[in-house]
Structure 1
């Protein structure tokens, strides 16, 4: 070739250079596979619910197996040379060698998969066994029976109690944590915690448990959406745990205004301390609809704060509670510009007819659900197209999860102002507010007006007599409407009162003369039946 031209390389040299290039590529690819294996191993052992170093084995095995497979298979795809050393007639691919190598790789990959399933399955079986071994104790404070009229026999309407399998799930967990209850721990610490504590699962089960019907809803629930559910939860009252460690709400001088809940998967939620301690049924739930929490819903323990949207209160797989301030820390969703405080708004949903349904001509029943925690539903109105608004027939209301204890709640009702004044004169405000799970028959102002003024003034001036009369209106346990149909109950005054009637809590008489004018009203610590006559002990 003339000077400055290109000289053609011998074919053998070209093959050597190609082989060298292929070897470099295989090494680089293999190193990448191994690197991904180490990344997966690190992620496995750093997971909050990791079971130890053994969790790294599947990822490491997969990384090395991938590197080996890449090296062997790419090597088998190198063109085979002819006996003369030239490519051309007779050159080909080593098909048999490639198939043998591919088969070996498949076996190795299958082995790695079996190893991974064995490791993960062992941890999962341990968690499942711990859940299966849980025996939930009976509640010290059982939930009131669901009022007879709360469950409507209307085709298409959602169940009053949402089954666990149908309860909505919204979280950021790519893999549902499976926690062994035997190794689970909960730490309470932070600002204003005078006595930091760490609890085991057995510690919680050994405490008096409360059972409550609580509705949860997601702030992302669209109109008519499915992200709302009502279940019967069993758990430890959260306020009691916090007070045992010395926590006080900001209104009583406590330094922390936010309770940050941390999950084993790293999620953080932060309800206001004031809300947790204001008397509502905030709890650390261990049971759901009569069974231990399902893994999907937070086994072994999740937090519930009624009246707040789930993204600030319903922490699943709970492991840590830290008292802090809103200024000092932003939980997960707040960092993403969501609101810090998130009270549930009044909402409703039409269950039947379904969207785009074509009901037959004639009368069509429209039915659904409505909820407003701490407030209750007074009325629901509906209209079709541009027609008139029509008031819906309400089912019996189960509970509003009112946050005020009974004496405080009564002070907010103008129709009970005489009763409130009498309770204050007798010095019973703290007694009633601090009592747990009582029933109060509350006489209206008109009931007191039936008593001649001179007699009423005499009673109000005699603290001992007034206390005797007022405590005769209180029963030391919660009474449902069904129990009032034909009941006899001992009061705090030690006398007996009787009840009779039927209905959803209003068609009843007490001691044969006092009518229940408003029944089954729930406060933070009592069932209240408002009556039209003052009861007199014998």
Structure 2
């Protein structure tokens, strides 16, 4: 029978043994991740009280967008389209996890460099927060407190890991058994991680404000327009499979903006101010805006980042108040030539004053889209809609301010990054069916798509196959020159691989150029081309 001195004890059982080698470094890295989660959670919880915009998570993301070169932004949009923000979050998440793991390992092998690294990350986040629009000194609190808590959690977790490791190496020390130190380490790490994760998720949900603002939006009752939009003609939508509908549903309308977090704006507290080079400052509440004689107009919007044949364009029926009437109340000075519109998240767009005051341009301070209040992601409660200009110089969402100024005194967000200042829409056309690389059966096939040139209108569309002579397509009806037009051309498709091209001519007689140009700095050009196999 074995003696008592050789019997295994709880202190030397395998489950109490501390990790060694790579496992030890992996455990230290996990401590770094727990510390990062704790830092994030504390910041999010405090942001609930200080203000959602003070959250470092989206401040850092927005800061990255601000610093990103235009060419790289275009590349990401081209690769991921409206999923560009998901891509950004994934990249930021991977970077944060990597830094957190590095901090944990550094704190284990060379104290206090892990804590210093975590503090440096917090400092970067603090700079991002404090450089956001409308930042106040109170915005310091979430990031500073979160960073301090994260550093504390990291130091304490690594201390417990060291105690466990030391106890495993000296298991005969009765006051420092491997089992006791193991339990202390796991209780601290798992406990802090679980509580922080739950608190952070709850706080992030509150900060997003989606539920509260969605409820507020549901209570908004839009008034009937004093000037309804003309009814969509029966022949405006060709109802072909694969062809984009004439009126784009709200859920399908493209979204390109700089907001990582959709601003949560209470319509009861929203206000629009008009200032700058004016004779009469104007302040308007949401209720006052709804009480004005609103108008309804069908208008196609397009993003300057849209590639030839791209889908960053959509047509909707907008309800709002004419911008020119508000500006008339403000009485712009004769020397002014630009209106700088600003979003609640700090985004700005510079729009030519002459466009906004033109009696023939239906530029709107919009509150409705396709018969309902603006969707949260499309600017609720108020945005700008201006026909004939790319969105980056006109279509400000979550609108909060209009500043009358001059182009030589102020710049919009994207103009400062090298894009052209005025952004007029270019004549464009697109093939929706057949799709690039598609396969169809031989015989009669309806090639169809859309074409647009807001303010001027589309006069004709031509299609050609394999560089043969151009053929006239049939244009569908339209509400006005401010919307796109569907078109269709009947093709007697023969077996083989073919190339289809389209070009449009506007009402002034200008035909799309074949010269290929990228979106920067003032919109892409070229003929949309698709290859299709007939068999």
Instruction: Give the TM-score normalised by structure 2.
Output: 0.63
Verify: 1:298 aligned to 2:382, yes or no. Answer: no
Q: 8 Å contact 2:272–2:284 — kept in the other structure?
A: yes
Aligned to 1:414: none
Q: d(CA) in 2 for partners of 1:330 and 1:81?
A: 59
Structure 1 residues not aligned, in runs of 5+:
1-20, 249-253, 403-520, 522-538
Which structure is higher in helix share? 2
Q: d(CA) in 2 for partners of 1:203 and 1:31?
A: 52
Aligned residues between the structures: 374
After TM superposition, give the deviation of residue 52 of structure 1 in Å.
Answer: 11
Q: 8 Å contact 1:128–1:180 — kept in the other structure?
A: no
Aligned to 1:160: 246
Aligned to 2:388: 307
Q: 8 Å contact 1:77–1:94 — kept in the other structure?
A: no
Pairing of 1:162-177 with structure 2 (within 5 A): 162-177=248-263
Aligned to 1:74: 158
The one of the two structures with greater contact order (alpha-carbon pairs below 8 A, sep at least 6) is 2
Which of 336, 350, 353 in structure 1 is aligned with 2:434? 353
Q: 8 Å contact 1:136–1:287 — kept in the other structure?
A: yes
Q: d(CA) in 2 for partners of 1:55 and 1:164?
A: 37
- Alignment partner of 1:101: what SS? helix
**What is the RMSD of the two structures over their aligned residues, measured on CA atoms?**
3.3
Aligned to 1:107: 191
Structure 2 residues not aligned, in runs of 5+:
1-105, 484-506, 508-535
After TM superposition, give the deviation of residue 341 of structure 1 in Å.
Answer: 1.6
Q: d(CA) in 2 for partners of 1:170 and 1:82?
A: 55
Pairing of 1:269-418 with structure 2 (within 5 A): 269-279=349-359, 280-401=361-482
Q: 8 Å contact 2:107–2:115 — kept in the other structure?
A: no
Q: Given the superposition, is the C-alpha separation of residues 98 and 73 from structure 1 closer, same or farther in structure 2, using an over 3 Å criterion?
A: farther
Verify: 1:97 aligned to 2:176, yes or no. Answer: no
Larger Rg, first or second structure (1 or 2): 1
Q: 8 Å contact 2:160–2:184 — kept in the other structure?
A: no
- Alignment partner of 2:198: what SS? helix
After TM superposition, give the deviation of residue 79 of structure 1 in Å.
Answer: 6.3
Pairing of 1:216-235 with structure 2 (within 5 A): 216-235=301-320
Aligned to 2:499: none
Q: Given the superposition, is the C-alpha separation of residues 30 and 366 from structure 1 closer, same or farther in structure 2, using an over 3 Å criterion?
A: same
Q: d(CA) in 2 for partners of 1:38 and 1:89?
A: 41
After TM superposition, give the deviation of residue 34 of structure 1 in Å.
Answer: 5.7
Q: Given the superposition, is the C-alpha separation of residues 90 and 162 from structure 1 closer, same or farther in structure 2, using an over 3 Å criterion?
A: same
Q: d(CA) in 1 for partners of 2:465 and 2:375?
A: 41
For residues 396-423 of structure 1, what are the alpha-carbon distances to aligned partners after superposition, in whole Å with 9 as ceiling and x for unaligned?
1220149xxxxxxxxxxxxxxxxxxxxx
Verify: 1:259 aligned to 2:339, yes or no. Answer: yes
- Alignment partner of 1:375: what SS? coil
Q: 8 Å contact 2:239–2:245 — kept in the other structure?
A: no
Q: Given the superposition, is the C-alpha separation of residues 50 and 98 from structure 1 closer, same or farther in structure 2, using an over 3 Å criterion?
A: farther
Instruction: Give the TM-score normalised by structure 1.
Output: 0.63
Aligned to 1:148: 234
Q: 8 Å contact 2:171–2:178 — kept in the other structure?
A: no
Q: d(CA) in 2 for partners of 1:206 and 1:379?
A: 41
After TM superposition, give the deviation of residue 104 of structure 1 in Å.
Answer: 2.5
Which of 213, 219, 243 in structure 2 is aligned with 1:133? 219
Q: Given the superposition, is the C-alpha separation of residues 126 and 165 from structure 1 closer, same or farther in structure 2, using an over 3 Å criterion?
A: same
Q: Given the superposition, is the C-alpha separation of residues 26 and 130 from structure 1 closer, same or farther in structure 2, using an over 3 Å criterion?
A: farther
